[in-house]
Every structure is written in C-alpha cells, then in structure tokens.
A and B are shown apart, each in its own frame.
Chain A
C-alpha cells in the first residue's frame, strides 16, 4: 500500500505518461477552513473510451496485455483511500484529448494518509522525459505555490 498521498499522485501521473501525455497538471488543494483535501491529476494523453473507463477500476485491469500478474491496482487503491476518508473519487476521460482523475477526502479524517513528499514525486516525474511539462499547483487557505518543469527548461536555456 501507499503510505503517502504523494505516492498515489506519482502512480496516477505515471499512467498519464504511459498514455503519451505532453502535459501533466497536478493540483493539490488543502483547506483547513472547509476541511477537505483534493488531489487532481489531469493530462492531455490519449484518453480512454467509456468502456475502458468503466473497466479501469476493476482489479487486474491494466493496459499492458503482456502482464498476467495481479497488477493494475493503482487507481483502485486511491479510490479506496478516498472512500475510507469520507471523500469521493472521480475520473473523466475523452479519447484523444486526455484524462482527469480527481480524488477528495476529509482533511481531518483520522485515516487520511499524509500528503508526504510531493517534491520527490515531481522530481521523479521530471526525470522521465524532458519534453513533458509537469505542472504542480498547491493551494492552501492562505497560500498558493506553482511549478512547471517547462519553465525550468526555458530558464536553463535548453530547448523545451
């Protein structure tokens, strides 16, 4: 199991990369005032049709046909965590234009895993492919933080 929500984020975002996304937008919204936490991973990958989307939360569903082991649990585990913490799990996908996964939970729920090391998650994603723009938006009641790996490349003077 994943100990931190940031690990789930990495896991979901790896699906985006596997789907050929050029842009992965990660949003984390943490509100003490309204007692919720929302994680959203949105990509512009190849997306899924309705039938695939309906199947994707089943155990053992994986896009890799060569795999016979019991894998394909990533999304199901995140959904379980959401439901355990009084939240919701929602996926939307349009073939050819991308997928969005939204997970919410009650911030103060006793079982809510810590967000954990988001930095490592983003750094790992940046390491896969420099052509992919990995974006992070982190918002609390008071502050907002934004990051984009593509901006970084532009600052470095390398080709995006």
Chain B
C-alpha cells in the first residue's frame, strides 16, 4: 500500500457518491460477507463500479450486503429492477462483472450463463 494510491481515494469516492443521486432503474447488491470477500466480491464490486463509470451508465445504484447464505456460490451479485424483478448471479469474477454491466445494466438483457434464479416480487 502506498500513499499515492490512497490519495486517489477521495476523488474516486466523490465520483461514486455523485453516481448515487437521483432515481435509479437498477440496484446492484453485492454480497460482502466473509465468504464473499474471501471469494473476491470486493474486486467484483470495484470492477462493476469502474465499468459503470466507463460506460457512462447513470441509472444504477451499487450497494453491498452481508452474508446471504449462498456461501458456495460466492461472489454473488443481485440485480433488482425498479419493477421488483430480481436476478441473482453466482460465481461472478471480474469478467462476469463486466459482462453483467455491459449486458444487463446497459442493454437490459440478462446474462443467462451466470444467473442462478429469478424471483418475481409479489
């Protein structure tokens, strides 16, 4: 770890705060419990944030949650849509994270190969 890296933190956090304002079409929830972190959830999340920023997508909110019980499928990413529809993606790596952003979040087309289940909210 070096200080020069840390100095970029403020700037980066600032951009992500700005990203959170306004009404969002999608809410991305990354499972960040012990098992998720150990499986690489943190890097999945930062990859998604970077990709969302790079593509200029502004109707997405990214957040994290604790252990969700899918320990053997981590890293797990859940996409919640404004209409209540939820899609859960399992065993997501950086490549998968980029795919989810470029397909699901940008074009609305689900990444079938990574999805484990869809729940329609009542």
Query: Does B3 lie at the interface of the complex (its beta carbon under 8 Å from any beta carbon of A)?
Result: yes
Residues of chain A having any CB pair with chain B under 8 Å: 1-2, 6-7, 10-11, 14, 17-18, 28, 30, 62, 64, 66-67, 69, 71-74, 77, 114-130, 136, 138, 140, 143, 145, 147, 149, 152-153, 155-156, 158
24 contacts between A and B (CB under 8 A): A7-B38, A10-B42, A14-B34, A18-B66, A28-B1, A66-B69, A114-B1, A115-B1, A118-B5, A119-B6, A122-B13, A123-B45, A124-B42, A126-B17, A127-B62, A138-B1, A138-B3, A140-B3, A145-B7, A147-B10, A147-B13, A149-B13, A156-B14, A158-B17
A125, B43: Cα distance in complex, Å? 13
A72, B34: Cα distance in complex, Å? 8
Partner of A124, one of B8, B35, B46: B46
Given contacts A71-B67, A72-B34, 13 further A-B contacts (CB under 8 A): A6-B1, A11-B33, A30-B1, A64-B67, A116-B1, A119-B12, A120-B43, A123-B16, A124-B45, A125-B64, A127-B16, A138-B3, A145-B7
Partner of A67, one of B43, B63, B67: B67
Are the CB atoms of B18 and A156 closer together than 8 Å? yes
Are the CB atoms of A69 and B17 closer together than 8 Å? no
Residues of chain B having any CB pair with chain A under 8 Å: 1, 3, 5-10, 12-14, 16-18, 20-21, 30, 32-35, 37-38, 42-43, 45-46, 49, 62-67, 69, 71
